[in-house]
Amino acid sequence: MMLPIATLPIAGILLRIGRPDLLNIAFISQCGGAVFDFLPVIFAISAAIGFADDNHGTAALAGFIGYAVFMKGITALLPDVNMGVFSGIIMGTVAGLLYNRFKNISLPAFLSFFGGRRFVPIITGFAAIILAYVFSKFWGIVSRAVTEAGNWIVISGDIGLFVFGFLNRLLIPLGLQHIINSLVWFQFGEFTTASGNAVTGDLWRYYAGDPTAGSFMAGFFPVMMFGLAGCALAMVYTAEPKKRKAIAGIMFCAALTSFLTGVTEPLEFSFMFLAFPLYVVHSFLTGMSMVIMNVLNVKLGFTFAASLFDYILGFKFATNPIRLIPAGVAYFFLYFFIFTFAIRHWNLKTPGREDDDSGAGEEKIQEQKTSIGLKEYAPDDPLYKASQYILALGGKENIISIGNCATRMRIEVVDNKAVNETAIKKLGARGILNNIKGMTQVIIGTEVEIITDKVKKVLEESK
């Protein structure tokens, strides 16, 4: 779900700089708008890749074919249907799951050409036909129900804004926050541009010039630009003195990333799993920020996240954008004092306050160097760290499959007990989820794709 969101920054930049008040070059603005026009297709392709075990391109093709067939089918049965990005998410998910099920299928000799991965787009197309018929029977009812729920959030004022902000953060550990985001930012509300085009969603309407849009984005700016920086300072301030310097370096980079780009995972994952009560507080403060910005009549939008870059790019579309600055400064101190008090009062194990277990991880890794057939790498080799991840995961014989999302390495394992959580954290991971049988998730951050690719390369070289 992060992949389509990641396409929006460049689209937003093109859309913005092509406007009459900047370069006044219509074709640049149109090029940026094209990404927004094809968001459902992008979601279909991205979801298919994400669900496919090995992120293979065949799944992406199947996602596109499934979406195209599905939309043609359901439009023929319900001419006025508008499923937005839901249609892309649905067919992308189906394509990815069908890829995992049928990628190795064997067919009779006379049909062997269509076996294996080539079968996936075919079966996805047939599934799309069936789903189009099924959805046509009840989508009208669902659409009305979802619209009512969304309208409640949109029109219920401060309460709806608070609920949206609170759930947006609280659902991140489950990876479900993008569902409500797609509802509010891309689906609900409608605005007709001067050229007569109808656009929907708080985000799209904002950049189309709707003066009422931006309420469901403005509240994230004080949190991502200022509040999380205060949170980072609180974790440095409460860290053990001997660890404070190292923690300060990590937290500074994470806070700067959040401030400039709006990528909050490096900071949020640093306390999400170690001190979940703090994360609930963070979610509550995000909800309150939505309300505060609305009370101050601040309307701001973003194409990727609530960051300095998006603040500058969307400034001329905004309503009372200067009011963000004092509100943000207040949020910086609010986060700092609340987090400092909570960490000390409840003795939360935030970074720099963990139990000192120096050496434990290294000893366990040494024990695991008997991993059958694993190639050894010198410490200065770029693949050395990847090999250490494999050892900490119980050796290559304990790994069934491996993949990643935007910030997590996801590993299907034979035995969860063979995974050395201490060693994994000492390799730089921000957290680990190892309580689901046969599945381990290592929280790494935005560099997860690079590390995962190196782990896969080591596994491939060790065959």
Which pLDDT tens digit goes with each residue over 230-246?
A: 999 999 999 888 778 87
Which pLDDT tens digit goes with each residue over 122-141?
A: 999 999 999 999 999 887 77
Residues 126 and 267 in one domain: no
Does some domain include residue 278?
yes
CB 461 within 8 A of CB 416: no
The CA distance from 431 to 36, in Å, is 34
The CA distance from 85 to 83, in Å, is 6
Does some domain include residue 124?
yes
Does some domain include residue 353?
no
Residues 333 and 287 in one domain: yes
Query: Catalytic site residue 253?
Result: no
Q: Is the pLDDT of residue 367 over 80?
A: no
Residues 188 and 237 in one domain: no
Q: Which of 175, 207, 239 is the last residue of a domain?
A: 207
Does some domain include residue 291?
yes
Residues 321 and 410 in one domain: no
- Per-residue pLDDT band at 374 (split at 50, 70, 90): confident
Q: What proportion of the chain, given as a percentage, has pLDDT over 90? A: 30
Residues 182 and 331 in one domain: no
Does some domain include residue 164?
yes
Give the pLDDT mean for 296-323: 87
Beta bridge partners of 443: 408, 431
Residues 306 and 403 in one domain: no
Number of other CB atoms surrounding residue 1 within 10 Å: 20
Residue 432's domain is classified under what CATH number? 3.30.1360.60
Task: Provide Rg for the chain, Cα atoms.
Answer: 24
Residues 233 and 301 in one domain: yes
pLDDT at residue number 358 = 42
Residues 246 and 338 in one domain: yes
Q: Which of 207, 242, 277 is the last residue of a domain?
A: 207
Does some domain include residue 352?
no
Residues 171 and 319 in one domain: no
- The tally of domains found in the chain comes to 3
Give 109-172 as a DSSP string. GGGGGG-GGGHHHHHHHHHHHHHHHHHHHHHHHHHHHHHHHHHHHHHSTHHHHHHHHHHHHHTG
Contacts of residue 410, Cβ cutoff 8 Å, sequence gap at least 6: 402, 403, 404, 439, 440, 441
Give the pLDDT mean for 71-83: 87
Nearest alpha carbon to residue 433 among 263, 283, 269: 269
CB 267 within 8 A of CB 169: no
Residues 54 and 110 in one domain: yes
pTM, to two decimals: 0.55
Residues 43 and 146 in one domain: yes
* Tokens standing for residue 126: 């047939």
Residues 193 and 244 in one domain: no
The CA distance from 439 to 77, in Å, is 41
Does some domain include residue 351?
no
Catalytic residue among 31, 231, 253, 405: 405
* Segments forming the whole domain that contains residue 37: 2-207
Three-state DSSP state, 401? strand
Does some domain include residue 152?
yes
